[in-house]
Each structure stands twice: as C-alpha cells, then as structure tokens.
A and B are shown apart, each in its own frame.
Chain A
Amino acid sequence: MWRTRAFFILFLAPVLLIGLAAPASAYLDPGSTSYLFQLAIGAILGLSLGIRAFWDRLRMMAARLFRRG
C-alpha cells in the first residue's frame, strides 16, 4: 500500500499536477507523450547533470594529484 502511494507521489503526481504549457514559436509538434515524459524525468535529468559534473571534477582532481606525484 505504501509502495503504491510512494510511486504515485514520486512519478505520477508531478505529471498530473503540472499543466502543459504551450510550446512557444514551435512549428514542430513535440508530441504530448514526449512533452509529459520529459516533465516526468526532468528531476532525474537535473540530478544526473550534477552527478556528472561531480565525477568530472573528481576525475580532474585525481589527474592533477597523480601528475604532481
């Protein structure tokens, strides 16, 4: 039961609650499913950007450390 609630809150609610904004100056039809899909995964994408940036910084620091050594 709590798992169903958690799933609803985490994934479905943002999709249902957030309204569709009209794409500005777009002759291309983005497709309602693609539009909503991006909204659904938006938070994960933003998080992944942060993680990627963190790993890149870590790799650069490690490279500098080993160069000095």
Chain B
Amino acid sequence: MTLSRAQPGSFRDPHGFVFLRDGEIFRQVNKVHLAAYTLLTDSGLYKTLVDEGLLLEHRPAPLSHSLTDEAALILKPDLVPFISYPFEWCFGQLRDAALATLRIQKLALDHGLSLRDASAFNIQFYNGRPVLIDLTSLGIYPVGQPWVAYRQFCQHFLAPLALTSYHDLRVGRLSASYLDGIPLDLASSLLPWHSRVRPGLLTHIHLHAKARSADGRTKADHSGSRSFSERSMRGLVESLISTVGRLSCRLPKDGWVTYEAGKVVYEKSAAEHKVVLVRDLVEKHHPQVVWDLGANTGEYSAIAAEVADLVISLDYDAATIERSYARLTDSALRNVLPLVSDLTNPTPALGWANRERSSLSQRGPADLGLALALVHHLAIGANIPFEQIAEYFSQVCRALIIEFVPKSDSMVHKLLAFREDIFTGYSEQHFEESFGRWFSIEERHSLPDSQRIIYFMKRR
C-alpha cells in the first residue's frame, strides 16, 4: 500500500511542498509555479546552481505520485541524510548558509529569477556544504519590485550573525526561540552602539528596524510601477554579501575549545590505545550513521568518518563546534556534520503544532553512538542518574561505544572539587547494571595507564 503524506514542515507555500511516499522524499511543484520552473530549467540556472553545489539535484518522478490536483509535476530530490536547523549551526555554518543564499540570489538575477523567500530553513548541509533544498523558492524576477525576502534574510541570517559576532557564540541559540528569525527591533536593541559604525549593519539592521511607513499600511497599488530597479536589487545583494562577509566570531581563549581529546587527561599510551580501540570497534561494526555525543572538536568523529557514511558530531559548547567546522572546511572530509546541541536539553520539536521542526531524537536513531569522556559530565556534572542516561542513549543509538570514567580519575576529582559527593551510586558496577537494562554489553576494554574503560554495547 502506498503511504504518502506531506512533510510537517512544508505547508506554507502554495507553489509546492515536500512529501514522503513509501519512505522516499518527493517534491510536488504546483501549476501556479510551472512558469517559474520552466524558466529555471530553460535559462540554465538550474544547471548552474547544481554544478556549483548550491541546489539539490532533482529528477523527474511520475505525476501519479502527486498528493493534490494542483500538481504540475513531481520531482525527486537528492536525499539529505540528516536534517539540521539554523539554531543548531555554529557561526561559521550560518555565515556560509547566508553567503550561499546571497550567491543563489545573485545567480538567479542573472537568469531572470529571484528568491521568493530567504528562510534559513531552506538551506541544509549536504556533503558538508550549504545547499538550497526548496526549488520552488526560485520564482520569476518581479521587475520593479523590492526584494520580498529582504526582511526575512535580515532576521534569519544577518541579525543572529551580528549578535553572535558582537557578543558571544552562545547567542546563536536565541534563534530557537524565534523561528522566523530574530525581530529586527530586538536585534537592534541588543547590538552595541558601535555596531552602527558599520554602514551595512546601520542600514540593514538599525535603520531597517526603525523604518516606518509614512502613513501606516497603505493599500497595494496593482499598477506594478517600476519603483525598485534591478540595479538597486543587485546593489542590495552586494551590500548584504559585504556586510555578512565582514562579520567574524572570536573563540574563547580557555574552556572546552582548548581541550583536545586525549591530550589533557590521558597518558600518551592510554590516548593512543583509545584511538586504535575506537577505530577498530567502528570498523568491526561498520555503522552507516554515527552520532558522536559530546564530540568536542571532532577528533573521534573524524575517525568514525573513515568508515561511516555520515557522522553527526554533537557538542553543547559552540566554540568547539566552531573549531570543528573550520577544520572540516579545510579538510577533504565531507561526511561529518558538526552541530551545537546540549544533551541535557536537546532540541525539542518546534514550530506549528510542535511538528514543523523535529526533535533531536526524532531524527535518529543512529546506528552507533560514541559517548567518549562524556558520561561523568552527565552523571556528576548534570546530576543525571545512570539509568536515565542509559534509557535516553538507547532511544538515540542502536549500538554504543561508551567510556566509563571512575571516581579515581582526575577529571572526576575536578568535578567534585567544590561540591559535596552525593554520587554514592557512581561506580563501575552500577554503570554496568544500569546500562545492562537497555543494552547488551558485548565488549569491555581497559585503557593502559588509565582506569577508564571502553565498552561496546548493542541496544536490546
């Protein structure tokens, strides 16, 4: 039996939507969009965008797959294996997504088209680079009209980038509270006074936020007067490119970003053995999708990526993900996606009816999870009992490589240095009992010159 349903996050645009049919993703392009789609393909823009890696490739599919009578054609896009959201991206990822959006708009104008929206949710990371997934965003250029997506671009991209640049990497999470982008007046009030010195921010955030219509909302004039030239449109795009390009973020000089996995708390032999052991375990079990939980700057994500099709590299510390992304951009690795995610407060389901944007666990489970040098931070640092950690991990991973860190370890000493030790249940035995309820413990390896233990487990 054919099971088709529209994707929960794809419903606002009457020009088309994405749906699932028998486990495969399709895009319905409605009749109202046919002229724009024809121009997209005939003008060469589609080929240019796909060749530059800016648009997902779409292949024709049978019209009989359509969900409604409005369908003009059905397309099958390349599958994005893991959906991520702008509030999970680091500064570098959001900046690259912004620049990709502007590059797409620039190319679109060269071919007589223009983006009908500039939502950050239209961009996904595919093979490590930002790509437009919403083909129906590209419409026929409306001659003489301002860019309909200008405010959305400023709220979705420019405002959070500017706030992160001027304040702190952690500010990026504010986007989770404002799914349609950070309101410009809020961004303007939060940015420091000296941000007005930059003409781009002065124009696109501060003055834009303060702009008021001269006599309130006016009725639309349907005469289509040529009031905003293409030259002005191109000037707007270039100004936004320049403004985004000049923003940068500063990494903190201390904290987790300076902790390179293995170099701080391990003897050399233990660190080397751990790398070999994890590599061997990943190769032996050959997972397709790996989630590296508490990944820091991604050393073990890179090891897993040698074997897996896709590695999602998660850490709550935005600075470590920033460094991880910067390293990946300079490397040949295309199958690692670093994301900012706090395991003690993972992304919930958000948006309309809490269904538009999936929670982190809804996007799993992974074939294999890596929980290396992590569990003591959850159990002691965040006071989460082993039983609950085990239960949650069993929901997000089918198998697990997990490191138990005993109380005798120097890192646990640090965690307990200024607090009362209430963790009477924190022991190797209790760890094995708790995880044994949800997983079958298949391998156990002690690290030389260390009291840490690496386990391999499979979900029951």
| Chain A residues proximal to chain B, CB less than 8 Å | 12, 15-16, 18-28, 30-49, 52
Chain B residues, CB < 8 A from A42: 146, 227-229, 232, 235
Q: Which of A32, A33, A52 contacts B238 (CB 8 A)?
A: A52
B12 contacts A21, C-beta separation under 8 Å: no
Stretch at the interface among B216-224, B352-360, B372-380, B421-429: B216-224
* A23 with B142: CB separation less than 8 A: yes
Nearest B residue to A40 via CB reads B211
Q: Are A38 and B150 in contact (CB under 8 A)?
A: yes
Taking A19-B223, A46-B232, A49-B235 as contacts, is the C-beta distance between A25 and B213 under 8 angstroms?
A: no
CA distance A45 to B239 in the complex (A): 8
Contact status A26-B148, CB under 8 Å: yes
Q: 23 A–B contact pairs at CB < 8 A?
A: A20-B220, A22-B222, A23-B142, A23-B145, A25-B140, A26-B139, A26-B142, A27-B12, A27-B116, A30-B150, A33-B208, A34-B146, A36-B214, A37-B208, A38-B146, A38-B150, A45-B231, A45-B232, A46-B231, A46-B235, A48-B239, A49-B238, A52-B238
Q: Confirm or deny: B245 has a beta carbon within 8 angstroms of a beta carbon on chain A.
A: no
The answer to whether B149 touches A30, judged by C-beta atoms less than 8 angstroms apart, is: yes
Q: Is the interface of B mostly helix, strand, loop or mixed?
A: loop
Q: Are A21's CB and B116's CB within 8 A?
A: no
Instruction: Confirm or deny: B236 has a beta carbon within 8 angstroms of a beta carbon on chain A.
Output: yes
- CB of B208 within 8 A of CB of A15, answer no
A43 contacts B149, CB within 8 Å? no
Tell me the nearest residue of chain A to B234, going by C-beta: A49
B146: which A residues are within 8 A, CB to CB?
A: 30, 34-35, 38-39, 42
Contact A22–B213 (Cβ < 8 Å): no
| Nearest residue, chain B, Cβ from A28 | B117
Q: Is the CB of B220 within 8 A of A22?
A: yes
A14 to B: closest C-beta gap in Å: 8
- When distances are taken between beta carbons in the complex, the residues of chain B under 8 Å from A41 are 203, 207
B234 contact set on A, CB distance < 8 A: 49
Report the Cα distance A20→B219, complex, angstroms.
Answer: 7
Residues of B that sit less than 8 Å from A by CB: 12-15, 32, 36, 116-117, 139-140, 142, 144-152, 154, 203, 207-208, 211-215, 217-225, 227-229, 231-236, 238-239, 242
Known: A24-B142, A27-B116, A30-B149. A38 touches B223 (CB 8 A): no
Query: Are the CB atoms of A21 and B220 closer together than 8 Å?
Result: yes
Contacts of A23 in B (CB 8 A): 142, 145, 148
Nearest to A25 among chain B residues (CB) is B139
Whole-angstrom CA separation of A23 from B145 in the bound complex: 7
Q: Please report the C-alpha to C-alpha distance between residue A16 and residue B21 in the assembled complex, in whole angstroms.
A: 51
- Whole-angstrom distance between the alpha carbons of A42 and B224 in the complex? 16
- Chain A contacts of B144 at CB under 8 A? 21
| B232 adjacent to A20 (CB under 8 Å) | no
Q: How far is the CB of B273 from chain A (nearest CB, A)?
A: 53
- Asked if residues A19 and B152 are in contact (CB atoms below 8 Å), the reply is no
A37 to B151, CA, bound (A): 10
Check if B211 sits within 8 Å of A46, measured CB to CB.
no
Please give, as numbers and ranges, the residues of chain A lying within 8 Å of B149 by CB-CB distance. Answer: 28, 30
Q: Are A39's CB and B223's CB within 8 A?
A: no
Given the contacts A36-B211, A39-B146, A27 and B13 also touching, CB distance less than 8 Å: yes
- Min CB distance, B294 to chain A, in Å? 38
Closest-CB distance, A36 to chain B (whole angstroms): 5
CB contact between A39 and one of B12, B15, B208, B227 (< 8 Å): that residue = B227
Q: Which 3 A-B pairs have the closest CB atoms?
A: A45-B235, A19-B221, A38-B146
A44 contacts across to B, CB distance below 8 A: 235
**B203 (CB) vs chain A CBs: closest residue:** A41
Give Cα A25 to B187, complex, Å. Answer: 29
- The reply to whether B152 and A28 form a contact with Cβ atoms under 8 Å apart is yes
Partner of A32, one of B152, B213, B236: B213
Asked if residues A25 and B225 are in contact (CB atoms below 8 Å), the reply is: no
A36 touching B213 in the complex, CB below 8 Å, given contacts A43-B232, A48-B239: yes
Q: Cα distance A46–B232 when bound, in Å? A: 4
B211 in contact with A21 (CB, 8 Å): no
Taking a contact as CB atoms under 8 Å apart, the answer to whether B221 and A45 are in contact is no
- The answer to whether A37 touches B231, judged by C-beta atoms less than 8 angstroms apart, is no
State whether A45 and B236 are in contact (beta carbons under 8 Å apart), knowing that A21-B220, A30-B148 are contacts in the complex.
Answer: yes
Contacts of A22 in B (CB 8 A): 220-222, 224
Most buried by A among B150, B154, B228, B242: B228
In the bound assembly, the distance between CA atoms of A29 and B275 in angstroms comes to 52
Bound CA–CA A24/B145 (angstroms) = 9
**Which B residues are CB-close (under 8 A) to A24?**
139-140, 142, 145, 224
For the complex, give the distance between the alpha carbons of A29 and B355 in Å.
22
Distance, CA A35 to CA B144, complexed state (A): 12
Residue in B15, B222, B227 whose CB lies within 8 Å of A18: B227
